[in-house]
Structure 1
């Protein structure tokens, strides 16, 4: 079975980090989330992928190539204009089999897919939607379904207190090729507002199944940070690259930690990181590969992407810094989000 990974979104709510980067390529635990997703699906037996691209597609193509480096096969589609979720699936139709998986590639999740595939087969469904339960469904698409799991209505972003349930579309679909005939080609199509209602009206089987496991839409800066804190707390059980030196302290290869420096767990330190004398890292800090943190700097509840430089005595708290960012000596930054050398913006 092939998996179609929908990676063409603009990631506007995660800007400025995604101004020059596809959102699924934002690192989680010092590796692009999309790489985690491909390897996770490979563990579950998926080895053939189609990745739907639009925003800075060359970043993804260059990183993954044909997939052989990861032991999988990858093909690509490119949207010239925004097509929406259903439109992107339709564009990929020539590359897909009779039954396939489609996943929103910017959702951080750790979910077993076999029960969803078995549910789909047992119901002889045209589409089966993976569902997840959230505390506040007002920012998502909510479903109403029968006791057998058949969906009869979608409510898009209901007002607080008016949602018919707390089960939302998790952006994970099992689809049969027949369902694609309900998607008009060559234009933007919403899968929840157009495609699924059309399938339901035509009497096609659209089902939903609640899924167990970790799920988080990392579409905002707060949720992006939360995914990292859940990873450090091991609620999100993705691989951590590095040696665990004491409980909750992971350190990569070829790192140096200066005299009197303190690592307060949980922290994740990438490869070839240099930490100066009397620096304090953590709690809840993720430091990318090839970063340099000079003496007496303090970094807490902060994510640094690769090759960042934190100069002497700087103080960072609840920040996210993109690739190659540089923080001046004795600068004090709180809730800053910086893409490379661009000006910090408040969360």
Structure 2
């Protein structure tokens, strides 16, 4: 069975970080999330992938190539224009297996696929949607189901009191290839507003079942931060290259921490990082590979991507700093979201 990874979204809510970046390539624990996703699915037996790309496709293609470095096979379905979730699936049709897994590649999750696949085989319908439960369904499209798990309708952003359930689409689907005949070719198609309601009307069999494990939409800056705090708190378990140096302190190879540096866990420090004397790092700091922090730097509740340079006495709190940025001495930033080429922004 092949897995189709839907990686073509524009990532508008994560700008300026995604001005020059495909959203699934945003770093999570100092590695692109899309890499974590491929590794996670491979661990569950999937080795054949199709990646649907639109926004900076060359970045994804250059990084992963044919997938051999990860022990998998990767093909690409390139969208010439935005097609929406269902349109992107249709665009990849010729590359897909008769039964396939489709995953929104900007959803951070650690989900066991076997219960989802078993449920799909048992109900013999055309589609199984992985569902997750939320406290407030008014911000999402929720499902109404029969006791069998069959979905009878979607309700978009209902009032909390009138919502038929608190179950929402988790962006993970098992699909029979034959249902793609109901998706029009070459135009933008919403899977929730157009495709699934049509499949329900045609009695194709659209079912849903709860997934277990960690789930978080990467789509906003606050959620992006939360994913990292959950990673540091071990609520999200991802394979990391950094090694533990005391409880809650992870440091990569060839990193240099000067004398007098105070590290307040939890902290993740990448490879080849240099931290100057009397700096205070943490709590909740993620420092990317190859970063250089000067003397007396204070950095907490901050995510810093690879190759950044922070001059002496700079202070960073609750910031997200993009690739290769240089921050001046004594620079004080609070809740800043900055990108090198986009000029930065406040989040």
Question: Per the shorter chain, which TM-score range?
Answer: over 0.9
CA contact (8 A) 2:149 2:209 kept: yes
Partner Cα separation in structure 2 for residue 329 and residue 209 of structure 1: 53
Please name the residue that 2:77 is paired with.
Answer: 77
Q: CA deviation at 1:160?
A: 4.1
Partner of 1:214: 214
Distance 2:137 2:295 in 1: 45
Distance 1:175 1:198 in 2: 15
Show the counterpart of 1:53. 53
Question: 2:123 maps to what in 1?
Answer: 123
Q: CA deviation at 1:161?
A: 3.6
Residues 87 and 188, structure 1, Cα contact 8 Å, conserved in 2: yes
For 1:328, the equivalent position in structure 2 comes to 328
The answer on whether the counterparts of 2:19 and 2:342 sit within 8 Å (CA) in structure 1 is: no
Quote the residue 2:197 is aligned against.
197
Q: Which residue of 1 aligns with 2:263?
A: 263
| RMSD, aligned CA | 0.9
**TM-score normalised by length of structure 1:** 0.99
Matches of 1:318 and 1:161 in 2, distance apart?
35
Counterpart Cα distance in 2 of 1:138 and 1:180: 30
Structure 1 distance, partners of 2:166, 2:325, is: 40
Q: SS at the partner of 2:169? A: strand
1:29-48 matched pairs, under 5 angstroms: 29-48=29-48
Q: Which runs of 5+ in 2 are unaligned?
A: none
How far 1:326 moved relative to its partner?
Answer: 1.2
Q: Deviations over 1:221-242 (max 9, x none)?
A: 0000000000001101111221
Paired position in structure 2 for 1:28: 28
Corresponding pairs, count? 347
The equivalent of 1:297 in structure 2 is 297
Q: Which residue of 2 aligns with 1:310?
A: 310
SS for the counterpart of 1:108 is: strand
Q: 1:343 Cα shift?
A: 3.7
The within-5 A match list for 1:132-171 is 132-171=132-171
- Superposed CA deviations along residues 52-85 of structure 1, whole A, max 9, x for unmatched, are 0000000000000000000000000111111100
Per the alignment, residue 90 of structure 1 pairs with 90
Provide the rounded CA distance (Å) in 1 between the counterparts of 2:192 and 2:224: 25
2-side partners of 1:288 and 1:15: how far apart? 19
Cα deviation, residue 212, structure 1: 0.7
Q: Which residue of 1 aligns with 2:243?
A: 243
Structure 1 alignment gaps of length 5 or more: none
CA drift at 1:341: 5.5
Match of 2:183 in 1: 183
Please, what TM-score do these two structures have when normalized by structure 2? 0.99
What secondary structure, in the 3-state scheme, does the structure 1 residue paired with 2:289 have? coil
Aligned to 2:16, the other structure's residue is in SS state coil
Structure 1, 68-77 or 232-241: larger mean CA deviation: 232-241
CA distance in 1, matches of 2:163, 2:234: 31
